[in-house]
Amino acid sequence: MLEFLGGAVVFLFGLAVVAGMVIYVGGKIVHHVPALRYVRFEKQAIRRATPFRLRWLGLASGRRARTRSREQRAGRVQNLLALLGTALGMVLCILAGLSLMGIALGGELGDGVEPWIEIGMFAGGAYFGGWGALKLLRRFRLLRAQRRRILAATASEVRAADPRPPIVMLRAFEDDGRQVHVFEEGAVPVSLEDALVGRLVKRGPVVAVGQPGERLPPIGAGREYISGDWKERVRQLLDEAGVIVVLLHKTPGLLWEIEQIFTIGREERLIFVVPDVKPAELKERWKAVRQTIEACRPELDDDRLSISLRGALAVVFDARRQPCRILGWSRYREYYRDAVEHALWFLGANESVRKMDR
């Protein structure tokens, strides 16, 4: 009886391990194959007109202009030294683990040593060498992310390196650094802004107004720090913008910026990005945005803005000023990137595509 129970426990444990591996591998396949992510427009006609490279291959278009800041920000040298030290530590951990495993396998401990000691040394070398290397790898990635902030180009630098019309990113300051889900276990946190800018930068220099007093700019858009009338500067940026990206929120400053977009008629260049927040909070944010739009554009007050953002990653406006949702099964990083690429294609599509009915 005990043997039967023991065998059953081992079988169930093995089954659970296999099931976990299948779920994990299946999740990686779904999240990393564009055709399986199934990011799409809510309108069938527009969905059918979406290019093959976008729907099934997820290929981005455009070119990226890489820039580095010329400013000598504090911590640049210290960060480089820490990176080199962490990389050296990873190598030493791996070598130490391999050495212990080699000693155990090579029988260098002598003939009188118990087998369990050799087994323990082999397992300990494999575990602690790998564990230490993985810990230092995560530390290395965090330091590299910090270095990206130190070397991040300013708005003037990214615009000088890329003559295309700027892509202006508007958001509430409290959304700076908002994280987005990544499927990789134990991966370094990724901000929603960084995920979006990775695609947007191929269509033009991405700029944003920086939060006053911050020591280092977040990873993402090139920051412009304004000491005078920020509202006048934002109006100028909106006039110059080729694309305007808004991270949905309800703060007074952002609502004023949204009001300016619709007042000057720039909604045909607008992409609303729907962040991953609780449904009730998301509903409140869209309600505030809707009221702002209807206040400055009374002709839009016909319930056309009464849409649900459930399952939506982004919202764009067609030629009739109707909101068109871009849907996805999840709010992971790859899904947001696909949604942004769909939105950019839609904004640049010809008028016949933009006028398609449901």
Statement to judge: residues 16 and 42 lie in one domain: no
Phi, psi for 355 (deg, rounded to 5)? -95, 5
Decide which of 147, 166, 201 is a domain's last residue. Answer: 147
Statement to judge: residues 16 and 102 lie in one domain: no
State the angle between helix axes of 333-348 and 192-200 in degrees (0 to 180), rounded to the nearest 10. Answer: 40
Dihedral of CA 350/351/352/354: which sign? positive
- Geometric angle at alpha carbon 331, from 328 and 332, rounded to 5°: 115
Domain count, the chain: 3
Beta carbons within 10 angstroms of residue 223's beta carbon: 21
Statement to judge: residues 6 and 130 lie in one domain: no
Q: Which residues contact 191 (CB under 8 A, 6 or more apart)?
A: 176, 177, 178, 179, 180, 218, 219, 220
Statement to judge: residues 213 and 241 lie in one domain: yes
Statement to judge: residues 223 and 265 lie in one domain: yes
Statement to judge: residues 217 and 325 lie in one domain: yes
Alpha-carbon distance 318 to 45, whole Å?
12
Alpha-carbon distance 33 to 30, whole Å?
6
Statement to judge: residues 176 and 270 lie in one domain: yes
Provide the residue range defining the domain that includes 80: 76-147
Statement to judge: residues 19 and 55 lie in one domain: no
Statement to judge: residues 134 and 282 lie in one domain: no
State how far the alpha carbon of 111 is from the alpha carbons of 116, 120, 192, in Å: 13, 16, 58
**Which stretches in the chain have pLDDT values below 50?**
none
Predicted local distance difference test score (pLDDT) of residue 67: 84
Decide which of 128, 147, 166 is a domain's last residue. Answer: 147
Alpha-carbon distance 250 to 257, whole Å?
11
Statement to judge: residues 37 and 129 lie in one domain: no
The token duo for 86 is 């962490």
Decide which of 127, 147, 167 is a domain's last residue. Answer: 147
* Single-letter amino acid, residue 76: R
Predicted local distance difference test score (pLDDT) of residue 131: 87
Predicted local distance difference test score (pLDDT) of residue 282: 93
Alpha-carbon distance 265 to 246, whole Å?
15
Alpha-carbon distance 332 to 336, whole Å?
7
Statement to judge: residues 59 and 206 lie in one domain: yes
Statement to judge: residues 92 and 227 lie in one domain: no
